Amino acid sequence: MPLNADLAIDARGVDKRFGDLLAVAELDLQVQKGHIYGFLGPNGCGKSTTIRMLTGLLTPTRGEISVLGMAIPQQAEALRRRIGYMTQKFSLYEDLSVRENLQFIADIYGLGARESKRKIDELIDTYHLDAQRQQLAGTLSGGQKQRLGLACACINEPELLFLDEPTSAVDPQNRRDFWEQLFDLSERGTSILVTTHYMDEAQRCHQLAIMESGHIRAKGNPQALLEAMPLHVIEIAGHRLRQLKSHLSQFSEIPSAAQLGDRLRVLVDKQIADPIPWLLEKSRTMTGQLTPEPLSPNQFNASQLKPNQLSLVSPNLEDLFVSVTGKGLKTSREAADVTR
Ligand SMILES: Nc1ncnc2c1ncn2[C@@H]1O[C@H](COP(=O)(O)OP(=O)(O)OP(=O)(O)O)[C@@H](O)[C@H]1O
């Protein structure tokens, strides 16, 4: 099938090999214009490598890429004028002021004096950097650096923005404000591909892909992905949950059990039709082996676990993430694709 030039990004069958390492394998990625597309995955899974191929900085070992209708890497030079790229380290010049950093980027893009002044003033206002206009970038706070990084990436009014972990050192309020700014850009038609390790950010995306070991394990609309998740999520309230966790982790139908305060959040394969009685039964097989000593009244005794201590809850994106990466793969080997 020919690549779709109407998409912001269309990549098909893309591999990137570094020596023996297949860093990206059979990547298929379609990003619609104006969408915010989230890219998730554990450290080292291939997200930055993918972005570097999509921006033409790296040549794929195999496969085809079209970005804004241009063949990449062949037309990478022309593409660069139409995209913005904010790397993990923001690439700011610490010895230059906020205004000088913006001026430097404006000069690289060849903006004339009047145009660059107009654009710099507009960006300083949009990204709330007026009080820091003359301050050296190296002395800015994490949130201010991030806003300056985004302002620099937007100086050429890009049609497509690549943001590689843009919020890694930023507090929740600044992250929230940052995402509001991304939606302002998206509403004005800018397409955005953003990598993140934060599930609340993934939830905000129009579409997302979860990558692991170079492969996309799931992609689609966040809500549709949750609905298609092949796992039940059960929370168990009680004490001595560490013992119960290690006991339950031995069952192949349970890809993950993780404690949240006084509850154990357990993922159970949907092939188990009635997960609460099933979990009660599995939990009860623990007694004796793990607690041979007499239990005091407030200690957890799985044989006395009552059905009302177990509740079926809605899955969240963290559940989805663990279900399609790492250990979770034992129950969901097929990549989920609910793109719509
Ligand atoms: N130029 C290179 N030469 C050799 N190996 C590389 C090169 N660039 C990346 N890799 C390897 O490719 C794999 C994917 O790296 P990549 O930086 O794409 O991961 P990532 O998903 O962006 O990780 P993180 O979330 O930690 O930023 C890693 O094992 C990395 O060591």
Q: 196 with 250, same domain?
A: no
The ligand 1 atom at the shortest distance from the C-alpha of residue 24 is: 14
Instruction: Please name which of 202, 204, 234 lies closest in space to residue 218, comparing C-alpha atoms.
Output: 202
ipTM above 0.85, yes or no: yes
Q: 122 with 264, same domain?
A: no
- Contact between 133 and 151 under an 8 Å Cβ cutoff? The reply is no
d(CA 117, CA 123): 10
Q: 178 with 307, same domain?
A: no
Cβ–ligand 1 distance for 46 under 6 Å, the answer: yes
Residue nearest to atom 29 of ligand 1 (CA): 44
* Mean pLDDT calculated for residue range 273-296: 72
Structural domain that includes position 157: 7-226
Q: What is the CATH number of the domain that holds 257?
A: 3.30.70
Q: 165 with 244, same domain?
A: no
Type of residue found at 237: A
- Contact between 168 and 91 under an 8 Å Cβ cutoff? The reply is no
Label residues 3-36 b or e (16+ Cβ within 10 Å = b). Answer: beeebbbbbbebbbeeeeebbbbebbbbbbebbb
Cβ–ligand 1 distance for 51 under 6 Å, the answer: no
Q: 160 with 243, same domain?
A: no
Q: 133 with 217, same domain?
A: yes
The answer to which of 93-107, 113-127, 294-308, 313-327 has the lowest mean pLDDT is 294-308
Q: Is there a domain that residue 1 lies in? A: no
> Where does a domain end: 174, 202, 226?
226
- In a mutational test of the pocket of ligand 1, which residue from 16, 22, 45, 61 has the highest number of ligand atoms less than 8 Å from its CB? 45
Q: Is there a domain that residue 89 lies in? A: yes
Q: Is there a domain that residue 338 lies in? A: no
pTM of the full predicted structure?
Answer: 0.87
Q: 144 with 278, same domain?
A: no
* Mean pLDDT calculated for residue range 8-24: 97
Helical packing angle, 275-284 and 241-248, nearest 10°: 110
Q: What is the CATH number of the domain that holds 82?
A: 3.40.50.300
CA of 54 to the centre of ligand 1 (A): 15
Q: 237 with 219, same domain?
A: no
CA of 46 to the centre of ligand 1 (A): 6
Cβ–ligand 1 distance for 325 under 6 Å, the answer: no
Cβ–ligand 1 distance for 307 under 6 Å, the answer: no
Q: Is there a domain that residue 332 lies in? A: no
3-state SS class at 28: strand
- When divided into structural domains, the chain yields a total of 2
Residue nearest to atom 7 of ligand 1 (CA): 18
pLDDT at 91: 75
Cβ–ligand 1 distance for 43 under 6 Å, the answer: yes
Q: Is there a domain that residue 335 lies in? A: no
Q: Is there a domain that residue 63 lies in? A: yes
Q: 49 with 145, same domain?
A: yes
Q: 83 with 47, same domain?
A: yes
Q: Is there a domain that residue 83 lies in? A: yes
* Mean pLDDT calculated for residue range 97-111: 94
- Contact between 222 and 234 under an 8 Å Cβ cutoff? The reply is no
Cβ–ligand 1 distance for 196 under 6 Å, the answer: no
CA of 90 to the centre of ligand 1 (A): 18
Joined tokens for residue 223: 């809500």
Q: Is there a domain that residue 336 lies in? A: no
The ligand 1 atom at the shortest distance from the C-alpha of residue 45 is: 21
The ligand 1 atom at the shortest distance from the C-alpha of residue 211 is: 21
* Mean pLDDT calculated for residue range 241-258: 91
Q: 90 with 198, same domain?
A: yes
pLDDT tens-digit series, residues 142-197: 889 989 999 999 999 999 999 998 888 788 888 899 999 999 999 999 999 999 99
Q: 210 with 264, same domain?
A: no
- In a mutational test of the pocket of ligand 1, which residue from 47, 89, 194, 197 has the highest number of ligand atoms less than 8 Å from its CB? 47
